[in-house]
């Protein structure tokens, strides 16, 4: 596929009806694949050996790490959507950002909660205000703020623009989260998978972790497409109600 034909295909999806038809085709396959990946990932996670220091609590890693990755990836999807809103005014860009926000909030909540449940037996504390934990908590607050903003503004065009600007400004927090463990002295451990010198986790734990990460990512994209479809329908309902009110007047 040439770059021009790829660009034409993406711009063709600007038509919500065409997008909805694509979603209807993709969703059953994505949902099925997500289910299979979770079954395999969970099976391998509980077959993986216990850590020589952490014991069985290492199994929290298989849900904590994918949740934390998803918390950041979801915000990255929102930032790309925000660029789509501000630069190309793509009709689906704001739909994408709006649909991703509650999903991102849920995964960030899971990252914080499972991290806390892992921290108590390993560190001896539920929470510390170190750079990693604090920056992820800030991300959670940003998600909640964006949900509140989307609900508070009536004018969709204005709401889309304001949200997009806030999302892009807030994106500065993502590299802070990623590199906080390198830039500051934190109780949270440094990166052990995405490293320049390769992962430091034994393959018996690395593979289940990677499969769970793919399962969580597929779950995110499945839910995101479903939430985008709901948002398009919500906008249609609003437009049709307005149309009906005008006809009646």
Partner 1 sequence: MSHLAFVSIAYGVTALTILALITWVLFEQRARRSELAELEARGVRRRSAAKEDDNVE
Q: What are phi and psi of 51, to 5 degrees?
A: -75, 145
Least distance (Å) from partner 1 to the CB of residue 196? Answer: 30
User: Which CB atom, from 2 or from 53, has the smaller least distance to partner 1?
Assistant: 53
User: Which CB atom, from 23 or from 176, has the smaller least distance to partner 1?
Assistant: 23
Subset of residues 175 to 234 that bind partner 1, contact rule: CB under 8 A: 219, 223, 226-227, 229-230, 233-234
Beta partners for residue 51, in sequence order: 55
Among 37, 41, 48, 59, binds partner 1 (CB under 8 A): 59
Least distance (Å) from partner 1 to the CB of residue 107? Answer: 9
Among 121, 175, 190, 203, binds partner 1 (CB under 8 A): 121
Determine the distance from the C-alpha atom of residue 194 to the mean position of all C-alpha atoms in its chain, rounded to a whole number.
18
64 binds partner 1 (CB under 8 A): yes
Q: What is the secondary structure of 143-188 as a DSSP string?
A: HHHHHHHHHH---HHHHHHHHHHHHHHHTTHHHHHHHHHHHS--SS
The answer to whether 201 and 207 are in contact (CB under 8 A) is no
118 binds partner 1 (CB under 8 A): yes
136 binds partner 1 (CB under 8 A): no
Interface with partner 1: number of residues (CB under 8 A): 36
User: Which CB atom, from 157 or from 237, has the smaller least distance to partner 1?
Assistant: 237
**C-alpha distance from residue 211 to each of 1, 42, 59, 190, 220 (Å):** 29, 9, 14, 21, 14
Q: What is the DSSP letter of 90?
A: -
What is the rounded (10 degree) CA torsion for 26, 13, 157, 107?
30
73 binds partner 1 (CB under 8 A): no
The answer to whether 209 and 193 are in contact (CB under 8 A) is yes
Subset of residues 16 to 55 that bind partner 1, contact rule: CB under 8 A: 17, 55
Q: Which residues bind partner 1 (CB under 8 A)?
A: 17, 55-57, 59-60, 63-64, 67, 102-103, 106, 109-110, 113-114, 117-118, 120-121, 219, 223, 226-227, 229-230, 233-234, 236-237, 239-241, 243-244, 247
């Amino acid at each position: 596929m040439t770059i021009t034909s790829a660009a034409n295909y993406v711009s063709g999806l600007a038509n919500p009806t065409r997008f909805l038809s694509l979603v209807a085709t993709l969703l059953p396959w994505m949902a099925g694949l997500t289910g299979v990946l979770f079954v395999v990932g969970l099976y391998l996670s509980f077959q993986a050996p216990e850590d020589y220091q952490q014991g069985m609590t290492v199994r929290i890693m298989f849900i904590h790490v994918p949740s934390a990755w998803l918390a950041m990836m979801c915000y990255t999807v929102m930032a790309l959507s925000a660029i789509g809103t501000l630069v190309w005014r793509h009709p689906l860009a704001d739909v994408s950002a709006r649909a991703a926000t509650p999903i991102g909030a849920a995964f960030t909540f899971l990252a914080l909660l499972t991290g806390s449940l892992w921290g108590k037996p390993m560190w001896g504390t539920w929470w510390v205000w170190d750079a990693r934990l604090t920056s992820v908590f800030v991300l959670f607050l940003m998600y909640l703020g964006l949900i509140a903003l989307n609900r508070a503004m009536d004018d969709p065009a204005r709401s889309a623009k304001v949200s997009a600007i806030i999302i892009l400004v807030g994106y500065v927090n993502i590299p802070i989260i990623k590199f906080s463990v390198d830039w500051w002295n934190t109780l949270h451990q440094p990166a052990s998978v995405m490293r320049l010198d390769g992962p430091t986790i034994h393959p018996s734990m690395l593979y289940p972790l990677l499969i769970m990460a793919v399962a969580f990512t597929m779950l995110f994209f499945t839910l995101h497409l479903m939430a985008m479809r709901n948002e398009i329908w919500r906008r249609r309902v609003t437009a049709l109600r307005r149309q009906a009110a005008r006809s009646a007047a």
